[in-house]
Structure 1
Amino acid sequence: MRRLAVAGAALLLLAGAVPASACSSGPVDVARGRVFMPDGRNALTSPVGHMRAGWPAFLNLGLLSKGDRWELPPTQETRGPVSWKAIPREEGGLTLHFSAAEGGQSMLDLHYVFADGYRSLVPYIVIVEPPPPPPGPWIVNVERSPYRGYARGGRETILRMALPLPTGRRWQVTAAAFLAYPAKDWQPLPVEPLAEETGAFRFVPQGEKARITLEEGGEGWRLFPETVEVELIVDSSVPKC
């Protein structure tokens, strides 16, 4: 009687928080480019794959011989957080696409069926790493006027005014707008001061550009108050990992 052992052991994926520049551009192959298939030895082991919650992953299932096939569970659910769907491969076998919204561990009961009808259970374990904590706010330190810089679309941003003012004076936002896409028109951008930090403001960039005008205000009157123009190019292509 043939027993199956599974090629490959624990498959490691991205661990911990990663910078946006290191993010994958598509679903992650839990087998790292290898086609998963039994190796024909007289032992049975449970393969283990790792994936990240909130990030798609897949596994290619190959065949040992012509006429062999994989049999899958009757429902697209697993004992755990992972859900899946199967798509036939042109080379034979299947591609399983995994998704999970939270961390944990799942078991997928696969069966490898030989051409002669012999069936062997291959339980596949998927360990799902929890999603990374949300990134902290993007910081923009304004040290000159006019100021040109960058911001990340959809990410909370703190604008800090590093230009000193006389005692009793403060910075205040007099105008704020973003260049909308694809309309190419300027729309109001909500900006609010930070109560816990003087000279700092919070906003969430959107569109293609953001323009913020700040003016010196506070006690007393000045004929020519200080004015600072801030323009930020908004990078909306940064992947959210």
Structure 2
Amino acid sequence: GIESSTEIIRKLELTQKRYYTNLKRLIDAGLIEKEDGRYTHTTLGKIFYSLIEVLRNAVEHEDKLSLIDRILKVKNLSAEEAEEIIRVILKDVELMPSGYLTNIFGSTKVIDKWEKTIQEAIWQINKSKKEILFACKHYDIRLMEACLAAAQRRVKVYYLLDKELKISRLSQSFLNFLFTSNGIPRDLSNILKSSLFEVKYANLPQSFLVIDEEYSLIEVLTPIRREYSFAFVFHNKKLSRKLSEAFNELWKNGESM
């Protein structure tokens, strides 16, 4: 935890204004909290920190991972030969400690393609029964449509959009159409006027999805460009409840449309 802000400002060579601005963003995002005079990670913060450490470790060995990609494209190489070469390349390299993800998340799946992540999210949304908590940094009409369809099945949907999407003409036009147009189907219009589908804006650290407090999906962004890198999917009731608590805190401080 952070015991001395003065020491951290000195080590990071930050101005006080920049330090406290970023600190407030982390607090607002539910990643850190102040307890007994110290700033420490929340449960959500610990999860994101762990994911970032895994990503950072992978970036440090990007050359070896790129070499593995090239090896896997060699057509006349058997699977056994490829595996042996990869073992040699990754000797003494601990990209992800044994049992690391399982210890943190329980049953876990890693998705490294954006389109597959969208498909996974939609598939799980379609199976939802009670509640969907969706914190989304991206605009994708398919995700919105899946959540609206869930609301039509009487599933309660809380849709939290990143504040940066407020300036997106496409997303703003679509939301304005949904919530102001008289030309949409009556059933959908009734859903939007009810409490089954609610939308707010907030500063989001990453996109994440929690369904029925059992299933969770967390997106991991690249550290510099803040673009999609990969996503973790896990079924863990305890951590899903913790993510739900973090979502509720973001929701409480969010801005209504």
Structure ID, larger Rg? 1
Highest RCO, 1 vs 2 (Cα 8 Å, sep ≥ 6) = 2
Greater fraction of residues in helix? 2
Greater fraction of residues in strand? 1
After TM superposition, is the score higher than 0.5?
A: no
TM-score range, shorter chain: under 0.3
Question: Normalising by structure 1, what TM-score?
Answer: 0.21
Question: Normalising by structure 2, what TM-score?
Answer: 0.20
